[in-house]
Amino acid sequence: MNRYNEELHKVEPAQSATYAITPAQAQQLDRMTQPVTPAVQVDTVFVPQATVRETATPVKRAIALTIRVLPFTVVWLVLAIGIVWKFQFDSADAFLIFAVLTAVTYYGLGGQEYQYSTNGLERHRIDMATHLASQKMAYDAQLRREITQAFLKQLGGPSRD
């Protein structure tokens, strides 16, 4: 029906081999031109959470780290003295062994404190959101390239890989 009169006219599609596609291909093209909705919303991840609060002060964290290092320090001291006594090393070597073992332990436990504190978890959350957002942009760009290639292929244009 046209808008000027009540006549019904059936229009036949053009019988041209240039743009002939099957109904399945037409549906596939129609689906490819639909906007893709994101499955995961990551925009809110970049905003600090109001519910996350740091309750420990830097002084309290330093005291807690010292308390956690003390048992290792005692073990390293006994081990260093035992190694010096057993292998007849100089006492400076005992101090060096003790200092290296204690420094490595302090560094490892301090890194855990930094990583698993409230601020560390916030950093991890934002880093993961950044990674997911960049990965999503890469996937979207790849999808757009594939859609363009499929559309050009359907139109019979040259392939640009």
Per-residue confidence in pLDDT tens, the chain, 161 aa: 555 555 555 555 555 455 566 777 767 766 666 666 656 565 666 666 666 677 778 888 889 889 999 999 999 888 888 888 888 888 787 888 888 989 999 998 888 877 777 777 788 888 888 898 899 999 999 999 999 888 888 887 555 55
Contact 122, 52 (CB under 8 A): yes
Q: Determine the pLDDT at residue 118.
A: 75
Least Cα distance to 123 among 9, 46, 22 occurs for: 46
CA separation for the pair 34, 142 (Å, rounded): 16
The separation between CA 104 and the C-alpha centre of its own chain, rounded to angstroms, equals: 29
Q: Determine the pLDDT at residue 36.
A: 61
Q: Determine the pLDDT at residue 39.
A: 60
What HEC string does the chain produce? CCCCCCCCCCCCCCCCCCCCCCHHHHHHHHHHHCCCCCCCCCHHHHCCCCCCCCCCCHHHHHHHHHHHHHHHHHHHHHHHHHHHHHHCCCHHHHHHHHHHHHHHHHHHHHHHHHHHCHHHHHHHHHHHHHHHHHHHHHHHHHHHHHHHHHHHHHHCCCCCC
